[in-house]
Amino acid sequence: MYYGRGVVRGMASALVLLFLGGGVGAQRPAQKAWFRSIELCNGVDRTVPDIQIGGCTAFIDSGKGTPQTLVIAYNNRGNAYSAKGEYDRAVQDYDQSIKLNPNYAQAFNNRGVAYQKKGEYDRAIEDFDESIKLNPNYANAFANRAQTYLNKGEYERAARDYDEAIRLKPKLGAVWSGRCWTRAITGELQAALADCDEAIRLEPNVAATFDSRGLTYLKMGQWDSAIDDYNKALQFDPKLASSLYGRGLAKLKKGDTTGGNADIAAARAIDANIVGDFTRYGVQ
C-alpha cells in the first residue's frame, strides 16, 4: 500500500456569470436563492462538501446554466463528491464536465484523481496523460501521475514526473515530499533528505513528509533521527502505519525490544501488508 504524499485536485473553478440589472441585494427571493447556489457551488464554504454539492445541484437543476458554466458546475460537484470519498459519483460528474467540454484539462486531472483513489491506476494515468496533453504546464497533473506511478511501483517514471512538477510549481510542498519518498525507496538518500527538508520548509505540518524523511533516516542507519521524524509524523496522524512500523524498526535497532515490538504490532493491526511494503522499500 502506498501512503500518499498528497493528491492535487484542481481548485473549484468559479462560475462567472453576467449579472444584468441590480446587485444581488436588489433581486427577488428566487433570484437571491439562485445566486446563492452559485456561491455555494463555487466553494464559498469549502469545509462542508455537502453544502457545495447542494449548491451545484441547485444550479444544474435550475436549467439556467450555459454549457460553459455547467462544465464548471459538474467539475466542482465532482470535487465535492471526491472530498467525501464518493468516487463513483465524482467520476460521473467529471464525465459530464468532459462531455460538455472535451478540452477541459482540469476535469481530466480530477477524474484521474478519483480513479487513482479507486485503485484504477491505468485509467487514472490515461486521464493524467490527456490532461497534460491539453495543458503541458499543468503541474498538478504531473504530480498526480507521479503518485500513481508510485502506487504501481514504477519509481523511475514517478521521479521524472516529480521533476517536471517541481520545475513547474516549485513552491508546492507535496511534490518535494513525493520525490523525497521516491528517492528514499530507490536509495538516493542524500537527495531524498534534501527534498524532504525543502518540503518541510514549505509545508511544516504534514505527516507524510516526516514519514518520508523518517524512512530516509532509517535507510541511512540514523536511528535517533528516524525516531524523531516518525514521532512528528504520528503527532499529525497517530494511525499512520508506515510511521509506526518504521519507528518500531528503529527502536529494535537501538535495542528497545518492548517499544519496537509494540509499534510493529500496532502498525500491522492497521495495515496487514506493512511488512511486505517495507521489504519492497529495501528495509527489513
Give domain status of residue 122, yes or no: no
For the chain, first and last CA: distance in Å? 16
- Assigned C-alpha cell, 40: 455555494
Domain-located, residue 94: yes
Looking at 55, 76, 102, the residue that finishes a domain is 102
Instruction: Examine the fold and report which residue of 102, 121, 145 is the final residue of a domain before the chain moves on.
Output: 102
Q: How far is CA 158 from CA 18, 92, 99, 127, 152, in A?
A: 43, 28, 29, 16, 9
* Nearest alpha carbon to residue 43 among 59, 20, 30: 59
In a domain, 242, yes or no: yes
Domain assignment present for 191: no
The CATH number for 67's domain is: 1.25.40.10
Give domain status of residue 119, yes or no: no
> For the chain, what is the domain count?
2
Domain limits at 244?
201-284
CA distance 122 to 82: 19
Mean of pLDDT values over 259-269 = 98
Least confident of 37-46, 107-116, 139-148, 228-237: 37-46
| Domain assignment present for 182 | no
Determine which of 62-71, 110-119, 191-200 has the lowest per-residue pLDDT on average.
Answer: 62-71
- Assigned domain for 159 exists: no
Q: Following CA atoms 58, 90, 92, 116 in sequence, which dihedral angle do they give, to the nearest 10 degrees?
A: 170
Q: Per residue in 23-58, pLDDT tens? A: 344 445 555 665 677 778 887 766 689 999 998 999
Please report whether residue 222 resides in a domain: yes
Q: What is the pLDDT of residue 33?
A: 67
Q: How far apart are CA 282 and CA 115, in angstroms?
A: 28
Which residue, 68, 102, 136, sits at the end of a domain? 102
